[in-house]
Each structure stands twice: as structure tokens, then as C-alpha cells.
């Protein structure tokens, strides 16, 4: 077989393009494939692109703290020409309400302080000072609109919150993927769009490339599955699911887009807010709007899909439910009659912690289960995947002796086995978009 590339990367979302960039910098000849017509126009384009530092596990927190620094130094990280149009990181802070559901954030505070992440504890007066449009009555447990007691306070008030001042969001997530692809091209990476993979080629237990829908075969000794919500289908094609205790599947999500209440500039003065009392998170959006997403409460049905193409892209009653839940916290919120926002898919793993790993098929690697809570980690995930591929292709057995990976900005080391496909379900996870 004639080799097309050193590595074929399936997917040009933010993590796929980060993998391409990091491998290309190491001298790998990479070819990235995507069936979409534009780079970053899968689930990445629908991401809220929040860059936060708090996770339910210590390893996840360290990884996110490392990841923040790449967004802060985005232009330097990419090394693109000075006139390049870059995605912008807007630092607005992230506020998380202390609730019984998150154990009043004790664990998150412990991890942040251990890692030296700037963090503050706020009382109710400080919350109201920053967000005067907020009412702090408790509504937990979250309910659906058709359940008795929806919208009725259940007693007491939110008494405090935890605030990470360095958190923020990226204004154009699709553009961030395109930035990474442009940076990768400077190091020789190639990209092909409108290319649908229908078969993973293999010989004698090793990957040999991919076959496209038009019958063309592309050959490489390494193939990396970064297909987002399509990752489970690619893994099935490769026949690698038999030794995976953690798997992935596509989950339908709706994000609400509503105008901020009159008289308050949420775009300039607001912050990211995670509020498990009403099971919503939000962030500022341009035009003085607010994006509102769900924290996946138990009362809401999970809408799993069979694949990442055939799913309902219309808004449902979930849109109204999320808007009304957020209105519990912001009574002056105006809910427009026209539904606006995003309907997209997450690539959710069994425990909502991603898989960054090799597979049972030699040369076939996975960066999967990352949707919903890994956008912020894309640059460091790309760097770690490149190191993992180098480690395994040099003959090391990552399953027996997991790679120990240095996080260069924060001076820590993590065991990459934390993200293994064969790990036990991590009971410390939130089992939600919070990670």
C-alpha cells in the first residue's frame, strides 16, 4: 500500500484540529478528514465554548487549569501571521451557586486551592451586587414544567457561591477550529472536507487507513478517531468496542438564546453562572443576550440518538422548560415567542469523562466522549494525544504502563490512564455536562 500520510485524523472539530496541530509540530505528516463542508462546523460550532477551571475530579481540574492558559495566550500558541482573524477569549468569570446537589462546592474549592487556581467565595450580597437581576430563592429539586410545583420556591435562599475570576468563553468556537487548522497547515498538515469515512482498513490486527464513501482508499499506519458525536460509529467500524468499559453515544441538546432583561447589560456586566438549584448554566452572548444550557437534571429525559446525522433539529418543549427554569432566577427575563438558540449533539461517554486513549487495534487511537465539557481542554488534549501516540508508536504498552504526561504551564504531571477506555466508571464524576 502507498502511504497517504503518517496519520489520518477523522474530524475537524476543535479537538481534532488541535491533534493535527500538535502532531504536525512534531513532524508528522497528517491528513484530517471531515464530511462537513467547513472546518469546525460539527458539534464544535454549536458549543457554548465556556472556558472554566472547576471539575468534579482533581485530574479534570488540573487539565482544565492547564487548558485555560492556551486560550489566554491564543495568538502566541498558534503562531499565525499578525493579520490573522482569531477567535477571541473573553474573560468574564464563572460563578457557581453553592447547593446541596454540589455539596456546597467543598470539593471544587479544595481542588482549586491545591492547584493554585484563583478562586473566591461569595455571599448572597456579593451575588446580588454582581447580578442585580437575580433572585435567590431555592427551587430544588429541579422539575419539568408538567410536574407539580414547577416554578414554586421550596424554601430558603441560595446563601453563597464560588467565583473563578479567570474563566470566560470563546466568542466563535468554529473559528477557533479554523485557527488551529491554519496553524497546523503552517507545519505541513493537510485537510480534506466533504470526505465521509465508511470503513477502517486493517491488516493483521493493525490499522492501515480508511475507505471513503466514494470508494477511495487512504492509507496510513495511524488513524485517530476524533469524530465527535460520530465517534461511536467509527469505533464500531474499527471493531474496537469489545475491550472498552467506557463507551460513547450521541446525546441531543438544546441551548436557549434569550435577550437580557431591560436595564442590565449582561454582555458587559454578566458572568458565566452554573446553578444546580435550577439545573441551568448560562453565559453572556453578543448583542446583550444570554445563552442558557441544561445541567441535565434527573427529571429530564436524555434524548440519545442512533447516529449523528438523523436527529430532530427543531426546538421542543425542552427549550421552554430551560427558559422558564432560568426565569425562576431572573424574574424580569423576557421570553420571546420565537425560539432561538442551538440544537446539537454531545458525544457523551459513560461517565461524562472523555476517552483519550489507544485501542485494541494497533495504530487506532481515540479522542472521544469530549462534547459538552471538553472544548476548553482542546489545546492540551491535542498535545497529550500527540504525546500518547508517540509513546505507543515507540513500542510502549500504555495499557500496562500508562503515559505520565507533563502539563507544561502549571508544572504538574497527570496519569493519562485516567482517560483510559478500560477504566472503571469514575464515581466522582457529576455524570452531566459539568464533567
Same domain, 224 and 278: no
* Listed residues 348, 380, 395: the one ending a domain: 348
Q: How many CB atoms neighbour CB 344 within 10 A?
A: 24
Contacts of 45 (CB under 8 A, 6+ apart): 173, 174, 344
Same domain, 51 and 177: yes
Same domain, 106 and 74: no
Residue at 424 is within a domain: no
Same domain, 122 and 50: no
Same domain, 159 and 238: no
3-state secondary structure of 201: strand
Residue at 434 is within a domain: no
Nearest C-alpha neighbor of 295 from the set 373, 369, 378, 229: 373
Q: Which residue has the cell 492558559?
A: 69
Same domain, 77 and 217: yes
Residues 353/429, Cβ–Cβ less than 8 Å: yes
pLDDT at 372: 74
Same domain, 197 and 343: no
* Listed residues 330, 348, 366: the one ending a domain: 348
CA distance 152 to 96: 22
Same domain, 252 and 240: no
Same domain, 254 and 338: yes
Residues 165/93, Cβ–Cβ less than 8 Å: yes
Residues 230/214, Cβ–Cβ less than 8 Å: no
Residue at 213 is within a domain: yes
How many domains does the chain contain in total? 2
Please give the chain's pLDDT, 435 residues, in tens: 578 999 999 999 999 999 999 999 999 999 999 999 999 998 999 999 999 999 999 999 999 999 999 999 999 999 999 999 999 999 999 999 999 999 999 999 999 999 999 999 999 999 999 999 999 999 999 999 999 999 999 999 999 999 999 999 999 999 999 999 999 999 999 999 999 999 999 999 999 999 999 999 999 999 999 999 999 999 999 999 999 999 999 999 999 999 999 999 999 999 999 999 999 999 999 999 999 999 999 999 989 998 888 899 999 999 999 999 999 999 999 988 899 999 999 999 999 899 999 999 999 999 999 877 899 999 999 999 999 999 999 999 999 999 999 999 999 999 999 999 999 998 887 776 776
Domain CATH code at residue 125: 3.30.9.10
Same domain, 196 and 342: no
Same domain, 342 and 210: no
CA distance 196 to 230: 11
* Listed residues 292, 325, 348: the one ending a domain: 348
Same domain, 286 and 339: yes
Residue at 206 is within a domain: yes
CA distance 435 to 429: 6
Listed in sequence order, the DSSP H helices in 29-136 are 58-72, 74-78, 106-115, 124-130
DSSP letter at 329 equals H
Domain enclosing residue 359, as ranges: 7-84+172-247+351-419
Contacts of 157 (CB under 8 A, 6+ apart): 124, 136, 137, 138
Residue at 308 is within a domain: yes
Q: Which residue has the cell 429541579?
A: 142
CA distance 96 to 295: 12
Residue at 432 is within a domain: no
Rounded to two decimals, the pTM is 0.96
Residues 210/44, Cβ–Cβ less than 8 Å: no
Amino acid at each position: 500500500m502507498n502511504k497517504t500520510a503518517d496519520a489520518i485524523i477523522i474530524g475537524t472539530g476543535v479537538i481534532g484540529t488541535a491533534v493535527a496541530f500538535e502532531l504536525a509540530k512534531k513532524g508528522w505528516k497528517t491528513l484530517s478528514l471531515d464530511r462537513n463542508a467547513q472546518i469546525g462546523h460539527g458539534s464544535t460550532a454549536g458549543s457554548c465554548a465556556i472556558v472554566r477551571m472547576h471539575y468534579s475530579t482533581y485530574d479534570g481540574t488540573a487539565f482544565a487549569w492547564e487548558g485555560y492558559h492556551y486560550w489566554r495566550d491564543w495568538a502566541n500558541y498558534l503562531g499565525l501571521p499578525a493579520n490573522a482573524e482569531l477567535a477571541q477569549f473573553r474573560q468574564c468569570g464563572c460563578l457557581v451557586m453553592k447547593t446541596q446537589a454540589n455539596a456546597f462546592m467543598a470539593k471544587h474549592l479544595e481542588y482549586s486551592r491545591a492547584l493554585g487556581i484563583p478562586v473566591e467565595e461569595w455571599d448572597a450580597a456579593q451575588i446580588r451586587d454582581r447580578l442585580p437581576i437575580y433572585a435567590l430563592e431555592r427551587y430544588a429539586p429541579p422539575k419539568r414544567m408538567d410536574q407539580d410545583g414547577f416554578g414554586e420556591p421550596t424554601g430558603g435562599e441560595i446563601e453563597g457561591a464560588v467565583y473563578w475570576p479567570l474563566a470566560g468563553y470563546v466568542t466563535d468556537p468554529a473559528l477557533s477550529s479554523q485557527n488551529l487548522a491554519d496553524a497546523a497547515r503552517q507545519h505541513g498538515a493537510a485537510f480534506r472536507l466533504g470526505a465521509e469515512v465508511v470503513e477502517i482498513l486493517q491488516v493483521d490486527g493493525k490499522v492501515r487507513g480508511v475507505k471513503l464513501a466514494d470508494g477511495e482508499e487512504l492509507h496510513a499506519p495511524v488513524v485517530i478517531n476524533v469524530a465527535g458525536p460520530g465517534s461511536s460509529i467509527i469505533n464500531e467500524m474499527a471493531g474496537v468496542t469489545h475491550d472498552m468499559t467506557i463507551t460513547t453515544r450521541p446525546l441531543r441538546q438544546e441551548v436557549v438564546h434569550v435577550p437580557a432583561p431591560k436595564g442590565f447589560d449582561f454582555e458587559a456586566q454578566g458572568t458565566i453562572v452554573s446553578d444546580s438549584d435550577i439545573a441551568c448554566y448560562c453565559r453572556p452572548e453578543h448583542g446583550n443576550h444570554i445563552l442558557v444550557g441544561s445541567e441535565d437534571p434527573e427529571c429530564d429525559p436524555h434524548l440519545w440518538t442512533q447516529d449523528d446525522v438523523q436527529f430532530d433539529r427543531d426546538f421542543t418543549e425542552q427549550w421552554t422548560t430551560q427558559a422558564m427554569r432560568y426565569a425562576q432566577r431572573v424574574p424580569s427575563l423576557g421570553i420571546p415567542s420565537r425560539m432561538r438558540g442551538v440544537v446539537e449533539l454531545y458525544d457523551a461517554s459513560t461517565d461524562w469523562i472523555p476517552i483519550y486513549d489507544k485501542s485494541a487495534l494497533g495504530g487506532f487511537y481515540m479522542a472521544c466522549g469530549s462534547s459538552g465539557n471538553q472544548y476548553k481542554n482542546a489545546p492540551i488534549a491535542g498535545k497529550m494525544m500527540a504525546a500518547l501516540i508517540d509513546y505507543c508508536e515507540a513500542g510502549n504498552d500504555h495499557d500496562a504502563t500508562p503515559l505520565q504526561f507533563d502539563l507544561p504551564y502549571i508544572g504538574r504531571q497527570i496519569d493519562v490512564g485516567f482517560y483510559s477506555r478500560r477504566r472503571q466508571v469514575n464515581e466522582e464524576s457529576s455524570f452531566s455536562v459539568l464533567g
